[in-house]
Amino acid sequence: MRSSIAAIQVLAAVTAVVEAQAAGGSGKYKATYTTVPGFAKHTIYAPATPPAEKLPMITWGNSGCAGDGVGFATFLTELASHGYVVVVSGSGSNFNSQSTNKDMQDSITWASSPGAAKYNIDTSKIATSGQSCGGIQALHVGQGNPKVKLITLFNSGSLGAQDSVVAAKVNVPIGFFLGGSSDIAFANGEKDYNNNIPKTIPALKASYNSGHMGTYFAANGGTYGKAAVNWFNWQLKNDTTGKAAFQPGGLLTQEKMSLRPTYTDEEITQYLEHIYGASHKLSTAAALREGFTNDPVETLTSLQLHHQGTIPWGDVALHYSKTKTVSLEPDALFQKLVIRKLGGYCMEVNTFLATVLHSVGVKLYRTGGRISNAVEPHGRDPEGFSGFEHMVILATLNGKIYHVDVGFANHGPIGPIPLEDGAMVAGVPGIQVRLVRKIIKGSVSGQKLWVLETKDATSNAWKNAYCFGEQEFLPQDFVSMNYRTMTDPTSWFTYTLIMARVFLKEGANGEKEAEGTLTLVGDTVTQRIGAGESKVVVKCESEQDRVDALKKYFGIVLNQEGVKGIVGAKSEIKSR
């Protein structure tokens, strides 16, 4: 792998050098690069004519920690043309030599030397940066260095325990620019951002579906060039235009670089065709955006209904698999829910839907919920609640906040609910749903929370379903919640196979409407039509019976590896 990447870099470097020398970057200063006497192991990129004002300095470490000076010439020339001095740990065109952390530290020391005087460097504004292995150098050199004000990793993240320890001690703002799930460093950068960097430190993560080598060799560094210029302008020059580029609807959104994960229009269309069919008015990403522009509440109501009528809720992957784990990474969820059609439980389906909504411009955030003991009694007080184990989406539509949840099996709403005390909507067939604001049992603060209550058509009593607040939960919060859900032996999901789906029928004006629900718990599939009683439709006597039932009633087709994965599990049906 490394040799093939190096070959790509050598070929790209030849082109980069020619283009960088000819263009000089797109900034207001025509930039160039050179080496200087007494500092021959390094290459300096800077405005050809130093401006009067002092310039921030950026150190750069190469992919593979190569001691090369020109491999990223196009990208680095672009940075310099916007008023930066960029010092590379390397010289000449030589990806076979190696640079070290000391070489990057030497760049910082050089900035205060007489030899650097003509570059007019502002030594109070120094950033370490690098790509891939060079990013790790930037992390190690920048952490704890009193002269460094910013650390930036491109397609990079901690490789081992020692790197993670360093990341956990970072005390200056840090940025991660990643290349999507096909970037070999994507998981490492995600881990640093989500888990290793202290939560008190300002941190940014942006991702562009480019793979590991980004767009560094495109004209002026392509999308990565634009992102880096705006990032450094924001952080080192306090530039409002640079900051605005990272806001919703800003330049980087237009460039399809996401600060949160997004799906491509092609992926969104594939999802919509899955839940609607190809001929529906909302079956493309463009149509969905238009719908949210024209009538966001009606559009979300339709989307939620068709999602729940197509994508089953459940925990099949915790039973019919070798790993007994599920991922909340959006790319993994797309494969699981849309491509393999396996369904998922609350944190999976709500993370997926939130990513779809964010991708088409809906303003939202997610929060955590506590399930009521009335839903899972196990001998507990029905007025009490569990710890955090549910996810809720709070979306802003027409200036009003709405509760959105496609992950509460056959007990919840099938459309958005205004976040208003007493707001009531229809739930799945046979269920009414409302939101109330009240103090939950066990609270000592008197704080009121939102409580989703449900009332079955067979009862006149409202009962608690779950409660939630309005505090934003971050991805790492749900990673912790998900880990407990899928590993704790007391978690219902680890020992009980359960699936649920709303089934639809033709309604007015050619639109679908909810007709009933299907539920599988353990070895029994039940069906409920409207407000009627639930009836058993199949009692599985063997694993083959249940595999067939999953396909017939929930559209889940298991592969042989999945079928074998349940052997020996607590949830396995032993043939009678």
Do the Cβ atoms of 5 and 64 come closer than 8 Å? yes
Strand arrangement, sheet containing 121-131: 31-34, 43-47, 85-88, 55-61, 121-131, 148-154, 174-178, 203-207
Give which of 224, 217, 228, 170 is closest to 70, Cα–Cα.
217
Q: How do the pLDDT tens digits run along the chain, 576 residues long?
A: 233 333 334 334 444 444 445 469 999 999 999 998 889 899 999 999 989 999 999 999 999 999 999 999 999 999 999 999 999 999 998 778 999 999 999 999 999 999 999 999 999 999 999 999 999 999 999 999 999 999 999 999 999 999 999 999 999 999 999 998 778 998 899 889 878 998 788 889 998 888 899 999 999 999 999 999 999 999 999 999 999 888 766 777 677 676 677 777 788 999 999 999 999 999 998 899 899 999 999 999 999 999 999 999 999 999 999 889 999 988 889 999 999 999 999 999 999 999 999 878 788 999 999 999 988 766 678 899 999 999 999 999 999 999 999 999 888 999 999 999 999 998 889 999 999 999 999 999 999 999 999 999 888 899 999 999 999 998 888 989 999 999 999 898 999 999 999 999 998 877 899 999 999 999 999 999 998 999 999 999 999 999 999 999 999 999 999 999 999 999 999 876
**Residue bearing tokens 């070798």:** 322
DSSP of 368-418, one letter per residue? EEEEETTTS-TTS-TT-EEEEEEEEEEEEETTEEEEE-S-STTSSBSS-EE
CA 128 – CA 147 distance, rounded (Å): 10
- Of the candidates 384, 348, 387, the one whose C-alpha atom is nearest the C-alpha of residue 366 is 348
Which residue has tokens 């004209």? 219
User: What does the H/E/C string look like for 29-42?
Assistant: CCEEEECCCCCCCC
Domains belonging to the chain, first-starting first, are: 2-254 (3.40.50.1820), 265-490 (3.30.2140.20)
